[in-house]
Amino acid sequence: RGDLEVRAPLVAGRVERAIVSGLEEYLVAEAPAVDAWIAGLADIDERIAVADDAARPGLEQVARLRENVARIRVAHPDDTGVLTVLLMNHLRLERGEAAYVRAGVLHAYLDGLGIEVMAASDNVLRGGLTEKHVDVDELLAVLDCTPGDEPRMAPVPAGEGVVLYAPDEPDFRLHRVAAERADARIALVGPGIALGLRGEATLVGALGEEAVLRRGEALYITPDTGELRVSGDGLDLVIASAGAPADVVLPH
């Protein structure tokens, strides 16, 4: 066991260096090289058919990657960034599920509709699949390629019909209120934004101010709101807010 504990970080370090090396090669590749790499995935179905039980799960994952690569290539036929998806974890989120992506981790959305909450930042770097400039050197300098667990985040019950998504950082958190008959109280720290997904909700702040939130509408919640009361029938809404603990004073 001692040997395993020592070797684990060494293996992780080698994997990280391999990912960085692969990204650098992919992002500066010419079109013929891209075609050749993708062509190498063509026989994956045949390889799955003859694989033993130990190898089959890994090959099936490669097959899913190939399908996603093909879909992305339709939208970005001449973008070498399409190869970066071969080095990324592919995650499917169902309605109500969430994932937390650390700063510095390359990520992309393939399709579907979701809500992204992020910390304030003016430092967004692109890694392909765009017509905008891709600064490969700067991207590789700040990229975090440390292997990690699946980033899926489980919600925490926070009241009747209320769940909380709270990453281990102070910048943000997300409440979801989903109930056929809701009457919830949510404590907020600092400002927030409420987005209606279903039904008509009545929102009342600690100072007594009241607003109605309907499907497709958004409301800005001021920093002095404090506790927010949410009521209504057939509701589904989310509230993104600052996630700082109570002893941290946020600027107004």
Burial class (CB in 10 A: 0-12, 13-18, 19+), 188: buried
**177-230 pLDDT, tens per residue?**
999 999 999 999 889 999 999 999 999 998 889 999 999 999 999 988 889 999
pLDDT in tens, 52-80: 677 676 667 777 777 888 888 788 877 87
Query: What mean pLDDT is reported for the chain?
Result: 82
Class of domain 156-241: mainly beta
Q: Mapping DSSP to helix (H, G, I), strand (E, B) and coil, where does residue 211 land? A: strand
Pairing of strands 152-153, 98-99: antiparallel
Domain with CATH 2.60.120.10 in the chain: 156-241
Residue predicted with more confidence, 218 or 106: 218
Provide CB contacts within 8 A for 60, sequence distance 6+.
Answer: 48
Strands (E) located in the chain: 98-99, 152-153, 156-157, 162-165, 173-187, 192-198, 200-204, 210-214, 218-221, 227-241
126 included as an active-site residue: yes
Please tell me what DSSP assigns to residue 45: H
What's the whole-model pTM score? Answer: 0.78
Name the catalytic one among 47, 73, 126, 198: 126
How many helical (H) and strand (E) elements, i.e. helices and strands, does the chain have?
5, 10
